[in-house]
Chain A
Amino acid sequence: SVLTQPPSVSAAPGQKVTISCSGSSSNIGNNYVSWYQQLPGIAPKLLISENNKRPSGIPDRFSGSKSGTSATLDITGLQTGDEADYYCGTWDSSLIAYVFGIGTKVTVL
């Protein structure tokens, strides 16, 4: 994938996890990053838009940031309901295509 994410991360309930998303100047470096949560068997849901904006209804336990050609999603106060796959996504101006990371599976220990 054009965007690199770790395949999995895990932590105990109440702890924090950080998911990284690494790209290049043609994608993350010059375009907004979004983050999506996909619970098993259902459609993805937008968590973060424009690098760090939370849509209405998304808890402030979820936060996003971007620096250069990398982006990060932090989940604090981890809950069992947060077990899901998380994808970063952005437009790639060279490919003229939207690109997703491979997805990161979050496991609550």
Chain B
Amino acid sequence: QVQLVQSGGGGVQPGRSLRLSCVASGFTFSTYGMHWVRQAPGKGLEWVAFIWYDGSRKDYADSVTGRFIVSRDNSKNTLYLQLNSLRAEDTAVYYCAGDPPNSGFAFASWGQGAPVTVSS
């Protein structure tokens, strides 16, 4: 079955870095666009970043542009999010989500979430 398994969350001090991973199985990862979405405590969903199926295009939310980097390794069925220059307001649960081809940006599958806490 379709599965996205995340790892890499945790606590970090402001200004430091963290890398999140998302390993896909049960579908052809190399054909899916992939997104990162986050949810701050008690808040709604916030889209963070998107990477095309082949990595040729990447888009970011204004709140993370220049600090976060999305990447993928299709040979390892793995999506990454590098979080740099972290701020307290980046504290959230981070989800990876799969966007099937020709679905019009529908997040059909989700990881279990990785909590990131930025605090001194």
Whether B110 is near chain A, meaning CB under 8 Å from some CB there, is yes
Whether B61 is near chain A, meaning CB under 8 Å from some CB there, is yes
Q: How many residues of B contact A (CB 8 A)?
A: 22
In the complex, which residue of chain A has the Cβ closest to the Cβ of B113?
Answer: A43
In the complex, chain A residues 60-105 whose Cβ is within 8 Å of any chain B Cβ: 85, 87, 89-91, 96-103
B45 touching A96, Cβ below 8 Å: no
Whether B54 is near chain A, meaning CB under 8 Å from some CB there, is no
B61 touching A91, Cβ below 8 Å: no
Contacts of A99 in B (CB 8 A): 47
A103 touching B110, Cβ below 8 Å: no
User: Which of B61, B62, B107, B112 is within 8 Å of A34, CB to CB?
Assistant: B107
**A binding-site residues for B, Cβ under 8 Å:** 1, 31-32, 34, 36, 38, 43-46, 49-50, 55, 85, 87, 89-91, 96-103
**B binding-site residues for A, Cβ under 8 Å:** 35, 37, 44-47, 50, 59, 61-62, 95, 103-113
